Structures are given as structure tokens and as C-alpha cells.
Structure 1
Amino acid sequence: MIENKSEVSIGEKKSNFSVYFTEFRKILIQILVTFFALFLCLTPFAKKIYTFLTLPLQHKLPAHAHMIATDITSTFIAPFKLVFFVVLALLVPFIFFKLYSFIKSALFINEKKVFFLFFPLSIFLFYSGVGLGYFTILPTVLNFFIGMAPEAVIPMTDINEYLMFCIKFFLILGLVFQLPLLILILVYFHIIPIETLTNQRKYIFVGCFFVAMFITPPDILSMGIAALFMYLLFELGIILSKIVIRITKKQ
């Protein structure tokens, strides 16, 4: 009898694993199919998308300067590489939603609430960081680097190098813009009391300038803009934490 029960238990575990594996494979196929479909849709616009990315640089380059390709394949590969990253960025919400649909049956109600609170906020902050970086911070950074070139040097940026610079730049900004979410998580899970954060404002303000020294060009304008943005993100995290605390107390 005991052997029969153990055999049934093992059989159930194998059956459950098979079901989960089949469901996960189905989700993975859906993600890959969606990725390639969107990639194919955007491929005809690869050059236009890359041109859009280079607009901040083109506006800052001297009249006699232009971009170059040091590799014969760069003119072909760089635009499609950019499309790959654009599609990946656009699919992040879809990917996480599909993964959530896979694990939601194992989550408690409060864990589902946390997911629906934190995940959309994280996506919004990431996209906001990228958008703000493209329209405001990137032109300032490019203007600094180009302005630092000696008079005898003509800035001519390689298209692939510029692409990788922008990818790293936007990724860093997207992560920096997660600061409000980090503060919200620390307060929500009672890791750090909100009173401690509010009482340390002046030290955090100074800390923002200290961090800005390492992530921005060494000019006062770029450093000040970065520090100001980080401090505003900190204050946004405090405001969101207070709102969530009030909602939690009412419930």
C-alpha cells in the first residue's frame, strides 16, 4: 500500500512537471513569435529609426563634420542591431505579463497586488528615463563631449560606437529611474521607515551630487542636472510611499 502511494505521488509530480513544462514552452514560443513578427515589421524602418537616434548628435556636430563607418558591415548591421534593442524594449511588458500568467496560480492574493503595483510602475519609470534621456540629457552630454574636442580635431563618430554608447546610456538612465520604485519597496516591506528617509533629505541631496560625479561628464551643468533628477526621483519615491501607506491603512 505504501509503495502504491509513493508511486502515485511520483506519478503526480511527473505529471505536474510535464504540464508546467508544456505551458512554459508554449509561453516561450509565443514570446519568440511575437518578437520576430515585430522585428520583421520594423525592419523596413531600420534606417529611419537609426536616423532618429542620431538626431541629437547631428544637431551638435559642426557643419563640416559627419558620422563614419570604420567597418564595411557597420552600415548594414548597426540599424538592424538597433531594431533588435527597440523590439526587446517594446516587448518587456508583454514578456513579464506572459511570465506572470505562468506563475500567477502559485501566488497569494497579496503577492498579486504587489506585482500589479510594482511592475507597471517599473515599466513606466524605465520608459520615462529613456525618453527624458533622449530629449534632454543626451543632447547636453553630446554637446559637452563635442565641445571638448581641440580645434584641430573634427569629431566623426562611428555609427556602431554611437549605437552602443546610446544603448548603455539609456540602460543606465532606465535603471537610475527605478529609484522611486526602490524606495517604495524598502518602505512597503518595512525595510526602512519612511520617517528615516524624510529626516535624511539633506544627506541624500548631497549624495545625489556625489553619485552624479561618477555617472556624468565632468562639467557642472551635466552634474547638476543629473543630481537634480536623482533627487526629484527620490522625492517621487517618498510621495508614492506615502500614498501606498495610506491605501494600505484604509484596507
Structure 2
Amino acid sequence: MTDHEEIWMDHLKEIRKRCIRVLIFFVIALVTAFSFVPRILDFITLTSTLVNVDLNVFNITDPLLLHLKIASIVAFIASFPYLIMQLWLFLKPGLTKSERRFIYKYIPMIFILFISGIAFSYFVLVPYYIRFSQQLAGSTDLNIVMGANTYIDFLSKMLLYFGLIFQFPVLVFVLSYIQVVSSQLLKVIRKYAYFGLLIVCAFITPPDPISMGIALVPLAFLYEISILLCKVNERKRRNKLKTS
């Protein structure tokens, strides 16, 4: 085996070790969350102070599936910081001192944006859509009977989508750091980017214009924040060139 192959084998072993650690952490979080599902479900059914959700099960297997889904959602959210930490520990040995400082300084942004995306989806977008649907049903003398599993599927997708989409500034910041994108480029393509964000909103939100508009507002704000972050990187790069 050549030195190059040995290096690759060492990397693969390291990845395997860290994946196993993340999996173990996820399983522990899953088992722990499973025992708290009744309390978590009480919190979920409130959704907000403005909306009450009455969930129902229709099959004998639904309660077990419901427990597993809720526990999985909570376990994923709890495991996300640990996953990022393991990824960081894997990449750290191959980074320079300046690159490590860069990541140390801005890695909290990943967690803040992830939680912000989840909070926006849970406290703003989902309650609005439930209230909107209930008003439509009420205007036609219909009653909404929510299946618990269907509702949890809808909720989990919304939380996951927005938790990940809110990572957009981090992605742009990293691409700016390695000089793949610039603030000027983001300004030039702004109108096309907004159109693309609108298409994304159409895919991940319920099919009504108001939901799309509510979702577009924070995404557009994140896009503008991304431009500012690019400018910060560019200013630092110029200052470093002046002093060198």
C-alpha cells in the first residue's frame, strides 16, 4: 500500500469513527426523547398562543409511529450541534491557524441560524397556515380533522427545511472567504436570486401566496445579510494586503 493510499485509509477510518459517534449520540437522544413524547406532543399541539391543534389517530399503529417521528425530530435537532462539532474535529488538523480562527469566530452562527429557522417555521409560518386553513374551513362549515402523523410529517418538513435554508449566509460567507463569490456578484444577481428564493418558497411552503410571502421575507433578509458578510470578508482581505 502506498503512502497516498494509507492517508486515504486513515481519513476513512477517522470519518467512520466520527459517524459512529454521531449515530450513538443520535440513538441516545432518540431513546431519551421517546420517553418525553407526551410532554413534547402537548407543546406541539399548542403551536402558538393563537392556534390550538386537535390531533387524531386513525390506525392502531399510529401512536407508535407518532412517538418515533416526534422522538426522531427532537433527536435530530439535539444531534445537529454534535454533528457540527464532529465535522469540525475531523477538518481541524488539515486547517491553517488563520482558517481555524475563522471557523472558531463564526461557527456559532451555524447554530443561531439553525435555531432561528426552526423558530420562524414553528412560531410564525405554521401557526399562520393552520389559522388560515381553519378560517377557510369555517367559512364553508367544514371541520378540520387533523391526523397526528400527517401533521407531524408536515411540521417536521417545515422545521427541517427552514433550519437548513437559514444556513444560507454561512454558505455564502465561506464561499466569499475562499473567493468563489463576491458582494458585487450577489448585488448583480439579486433580482434573479429573489426569483429563485420565491421558487424555493413555492416548493417548501403550503400552496398559497401569503405563506410564500411570509417565507420570502426572512430569506430575502438573509440574502442581504450575506452581502454584508461578503463585504466584511473583502474588507479584511484588503486590510491584510495593505499590511503585508
The bucket for the TM-score relative to the shorter chain is 0.7 to 0.9
Q: Structure 1 residue 236 and structure 2 residue 236: aligned? A: no
Query: In structure 1, which of residues 130, 150, 153 is the aligned counterpart of residue 118 of structure 2?
Result: 130
1:30-54: CA deviations, max 9, x gaps?
A: 3333333333333321111122122
The unaligned stretches of length 5 or more in structure 2 are: none
Q: Structure 1 residue 80 and structure 2 residue 80: aligned? A: no
State the alpha-carbon separation in 1 of the partners of residues 120 and 34 from structure 2: 25
Query: In structure 2, which of residues 172, 176, 186 is the aligned counterpart of residue 197 of structure 1?
Result: 186
Deviates more, 1:193-202 or 1:138-147: 193-202
Q: Which residue of 1 aligns with 2:236?
A: 247
Residues 114 and 164, structure 2, Cα contact 8 Å, conserved in 1: yes
Query: In structure 1, which of residues 19, 25, 31 is the aligned counterpart of residue 22 of structure 2?
Result: 31
State the alpha-carbon separation in 1 of the partners of residues 202 and 26 from structure 2: 38
The unaligned stretches of length 5 or more in structure 1 are: 1-9
TM-score normalized with structure 1 length:
0.77
One-letter code of the match for 2:51?
Answer: K
Q: Structure 1 residue 107 and structure 2 residue 95: aligned? A: yes
| Two-structure CA RMSD over aligned residues (Å) | 3.3
Q: Structure 1 residue 226 and structure 2 residue 224: aligned? A: no
One-letter code of the match for 1:68?
Answer: N
Rate the CA distance shift 1:19–1:231 in 2: closer, same or farther, 3 A. closer
1:112-138: CA deviations, max 9, x gaps?
A: 455445644233212210011111111
Larger radius of gyration: 1
TM-score normalized with structure 2 length:
0.79
Residues 208 and 228, structure 1, Cα contact 8 Å, conserved in 2: no
Q: Structure 1 residue 51 and structure 2 residue 42: aligned? A: yes
One-letter code of the match for 1:248?
Answer: R
Per-residue deviation, 1:166: 0.7
Residues 158 and 204, structure 2, Cα contact 8 Å, conserved in 1: no
Number of equivalent positions: 239
Residues 56 and 139, structure 1, Cα contact 8 Å, conserved in 2: yes
Rate the CA distance shift 1:45–1:166 in 2: closer, same or farther, 3 A. same
One-letter code of the match for 1:133?
Answer: S
Deviates more, 1:80-89 or 1:32-41: 32-41
Rate the CA distance shift 1:156–1:202 in 2: closer, same or farther, 3 A. same
Matched-pair identity in %:
28
State the alpha-carbon separation in 1 of the partners of residues 193 and 22 from structure 2: 41
Residues 38 and 87, structure 1, Cα contact 8 Å, conserved in 2: yes
Query: In structure 2, which of residues 157, 168, 173 is the aligned counterpart of residue 179 of structure 1?
Result: 168
Query: In structure 1, which of residues 110, 120, 139 is the aligned counterpart of residue 127 of structure 2?
Result: 139
Per-residue deviation, 1:205: 5.1
Rate the CA distance shift 1:23–1:84 in 2: closer, same or farther, 3 A. same
Q: Structure 1 residue 168 and structure 2 residue 150: aligned? A: no
State the alpha-carbon separation in 2 of the partners of residues 189 and 18 from structure 1: 27
Deviates more, 1:128-137 or 1:234-243: 234-243
